[in-house]
């Protein structure tokens, strides 16, 4: 009931407003519109145009787009050059109609009208680059099957607007290019070319919303990195000359290292040079981490450990820091330093208790120590109890690791002592046992 009363009041207000406007418009038509052909060819048509512009605007202000439609349509057909509001408001009015249309044929006609509206806006009010970007986004939204035509609009918009392009236009252009690439409708060179153009414009953007710009850059980088076009050779070819020209450009160095890291291209000379340049120019946790991964890939574990420690020291986020500790534990285990491996793995789970992978690393460190710990076969075999305990803990903490943990459990349970070996050493299943050596873990006796 209250809603109906509100609508009646709005109608009354609008009717009163329009009567006033109509009265004023008659006077203006005789005084001003008579000299302005944009509003029509005679006084009556100019008054009608002014009245419809006002009606459209009033309904638009209160989000009654359905009621604004007829006034908008009259202006669009009869006095299309009279006001840019016909196109600014008309876009939203038409989108409302499109998204609420239940008859497909009617919906398609409205989409055609929306596309025409963009064309007419360019014809009468210029801004071709800006308008084409909006047209491309909406064509892709409402007719995704026309992606190639939408791509042309988006690409032309970017070429015109360059660093002044809307972020949404550049990101959508990258998305559309990726779809065409995956459908075999553009090649690797075209994909690379669009990526470089889009990312360069974003880097040069004067956008005041740094958070929005950062999100756009990250979206474009992610699309390209996951496109399939960005393998190591392509990335090296793409960025080598740019790096040589600007070896101290922090933004460029971050792009290079992020993409090469994403694709696992740690062995490349470009990654090494860019990572070291980035750390010298702008020391950060991520730069130190990239260097740790670099030296790890080169089996230079001394330098790898140094940079892992630097990354951890510089990183404020505990979850990211936990991941650095986990990666360091893997690196230490790779070089056979089981105790350092366990120390770092435990620090990782201390910072992020939801991590299960560090327990897998500890289990593998224990298993690898079976020949180093114990004075006889029984004691050496008992080490595998502690190892399996860690694999069980890993899948309990993170069920996503169940398959991998069960694989290790099956493999290393086969090395448990036999009943005879346990009995000979004074133990039976279920008893408590302390694994010695550096491991020093309490566990439960189990036999195979």
Encode pLDDT of 8-39 as tens digits.
455 545 544 544 444 444 444 334 444 566 66
Q: Please, which pLDDT band fits residue 282 given cuts at 50, 70 and 90?
A: confident
Euclidean distance between CA atoms 340 and 330, whole angstroms: 10
pLDDT value for 2: 54
Lowest mean pLDDT among 221-230, 305-314, 358-367, 381-390: 221-230
pLDDT value for 21: 46
Euclidean distance between CA atoms 177 and 186, whole angstroms: 8
**What single string gives the DSSP state of each residue in 414-444?**
TTSPPHHHHHHTT--TT-EEEE-TTT-EEEE
For 41-84, what is each residue's pLDDT tens digit?
656 567 788 888 989 999 999 989 999 999 999 999 989 998 99
pLDDT value for 27: 44
Nearest to 147 by CA among 172, 110, 164, 119: 172
Answer yes or no: are the C-beta atoms of 169 and 137 closer than 8 Å: yes
pLDDT value for 255: 84
The number of beta carbons lying within 10 Å of the beta carbon of residue 82 is: 22
Lowest mean pLDDT among 259-263, 304-308, 309-313, 425-429: 259-263
Euclidean distance between CA atoms 359 and 321, whole angstroms: 17
Euclidean distance between CA atoms 153 and 403, whole angstroms: 48
Please report which helix (H) or strand (E) contains residue 48, including its range. Answer: helix 43-61
pLDDT value for 242: 87
pLDDT value for 272: 86
Q: Please, which pLDDT band fits residue 106 given cuts at 50, 70 and 90?
A: very high
pLDDT value for 48: 84
Q: Which range has highest mean pLDDT (6-15, 291-300, 346-355)?
A: 346-355
Nearest to 173 by CA among 209, 218, 136, 142: 136
Q: Round the CA-based radius of gyration of the chain to a whole number and report it.
A: 34
Across the range 201-214, mean pLDDT stands at 79
Q: Please, which pLDDT band fits residue 329 given cuts at 50, 70 and 90?
A: very high
The number of beta carbons lying within 10 Å of the beta carbon of residue 376 is: 11
pLDDT value for 29: 39
pLDDT value for 228: 83
Across the chain, what does the average pLDDT equal?
88
Sequence-distant (6+) residues with CB within 8 A of 272 are 294
pLDDT value for 44: 59
The number of beta carbons lying within 10 Å of the beta carbon of residue 142 is: 18
pLDDT value for 234: 84
């Amino acid at each position: 009931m209250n809603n109906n009363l509100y609508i009646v009041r709005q109608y009354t207000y609008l009717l009163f407003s329009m009567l006033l406007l109509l009265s004023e418009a008659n006077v203006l038509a005789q005084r001003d519109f008579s000299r302005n052909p944009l509003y029509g060819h005679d006084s009556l048509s100019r008054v009608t145009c002014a009245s419809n512009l006002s009606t459209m605007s009033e309904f638009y202000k209160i989000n009654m787009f359905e009621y604004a439609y007829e006034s908008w349509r009259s202006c669009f057909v009869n006095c299309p050059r009279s006001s840019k509001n016909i196109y600014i408001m008309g876009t939203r009015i038409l989108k409302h109609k499109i998204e609420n249309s239940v008859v497909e044929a009617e919906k398609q006609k409205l989409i055609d009208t929306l596309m025409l509206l963009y064309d007419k806006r360019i014809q009468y009010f210029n801004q071709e680059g800006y308008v084409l970007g909006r047209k491309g986004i909406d064509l892709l939204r409402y007719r995704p099957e026309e992606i190639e035509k939408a791509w042309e609009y988006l690409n032309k918009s970017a070429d015109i607007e360059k660093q002044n392009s809307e972020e949404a236009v550049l990101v959508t252009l990258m998305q559309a290019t990726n779809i065409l690439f995956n459908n075999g409708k553009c090649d690797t060179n075209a994909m690379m070319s669009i990526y470089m153009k889009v990312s360069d414009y974003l880097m040069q953007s004067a956008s005041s919303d740094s958070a929005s710009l950062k999100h756009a850059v990250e979206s474009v980088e992610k699309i390209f990195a996951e496109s399939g076009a960005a393998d190591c050779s392509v990335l090296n070819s793409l960025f080598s000359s740019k790096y040589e020209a600007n070896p101290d450009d922090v933004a460029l160095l971050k792009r290079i290292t992020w993409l090469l890291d994403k694709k696992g291209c740690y062995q490349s000379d470009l990654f090494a040079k860019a990572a070291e340049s980035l750390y010298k120019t702008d020391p950060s946790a991520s730069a130190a981490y990239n260097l740790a991964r670099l030296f790890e890939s080169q089996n230079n574990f001394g330098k790898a450990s140094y940079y892992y420690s630097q990354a951890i020291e510089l990183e404020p986020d505990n979850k990211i820091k936990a991941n650095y500790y986990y990666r360091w534990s893997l690196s230490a285990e790779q070089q056979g330093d089981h105790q350092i491996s366990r120390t770092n793995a435990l620090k990782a789970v201390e910072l992020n208790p939801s991590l299960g992978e560090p327990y897998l690393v500890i289990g593998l460190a224990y298993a690898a120590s079976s020949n180093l710990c114990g004075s006889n076969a029984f004691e050496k075999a008992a080490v595998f109890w502690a190892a399996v305990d860690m694999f069980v803990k890993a899948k309990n903490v993170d069920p996503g690791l169940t398959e991998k943990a069960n694989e290790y459990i099956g493999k290393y349970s086969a090395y448990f002592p036999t009943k005879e070996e346990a009995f000979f050493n004074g133990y039976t299943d279920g008893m408590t046992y302390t694994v010695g050596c550096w491991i020093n873990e309490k566990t439960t006796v189990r036999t195979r």
